[in-house]
Amino acid sequence: MPRARKGAARNKARRRILRSARGYWGTKSRHKQQAKVALTRAGQFAYRDRRARRREFRRLWITRITAACRMRGTRYSRFINGLQNSGIALNRKMLSELAIEDPKSFDRLVEMAEEKTTAQAFAR
């Protein structure tokens, strides 16, 4: 069995790593070892943030619905409670988009929610 040397394989591995680390800052895009570390971390962040993204967007929609509710003299919890009691199954994403694109429909939704709500009235 002839002796296999590492040279070609090592160069290939280095090229593969540096290629996927393109655009990274400083040595992270130029040195194999730094690039390798950066890529591992990048993968971890990507994995974590794909999950965090869902939570962040839900938070944003809720903030927007809150703003739209307060403009109309109610509040988020009261509005959602009313929707639930009247069996309206629109999700928060669509509610927030409605509040921006179609304020008239949102007005109507607030009215419908107010009829069925069991939450206490606005304190202020």
Partner 1 sequence: MPRQTTFAKPGEIAPSWHLVDADGQVLGRLATRIAVVLMGKHRPEYTPHVDCGDFVIVTNAKGIVLTGRKSEQKHRTHYTGYPGGLRSESYGSLIERQPERVITDAVRRMLPKNRLGRQMLSKLKVYSGNDHPHHAQQPTPLS
Site residues (CB under 8 A) for partner 1? 57, 60-61, 63-68, 70-71, 93-94, 96-101, 103
Judged by beta carbon, residue 38 or residue 106, the one nearer partner 1 is 106
Helical packing angle, 76-85 and 103-116, nearest 10°: 70
Judged by beta carbon, residue 45 or residue 57, the one nearer partner 1 is 57
Closest distance to partner 1 from the beta carbon of 75 (Å): 13
What token pair was written down for 23?
């655009």
Spatial separation of the C-alpha atoms in residues 56 and 62, rounded to whole Å: 10
Judged by beta carbon, residue 100 or residue 121, the one nearer partner 1 is 100
Closest distance to partner 1 from the beta carbon of 11 (Å): 42
SS3 60: helix
In the numeric block, the tokens 């003299």 are attached to 73
Closest distance to partner 1 from the beta carbon of 66 (Å): 8
Q: Is the dihedral of CA 37, 38, 44, 47 positive or negative?
A: negative
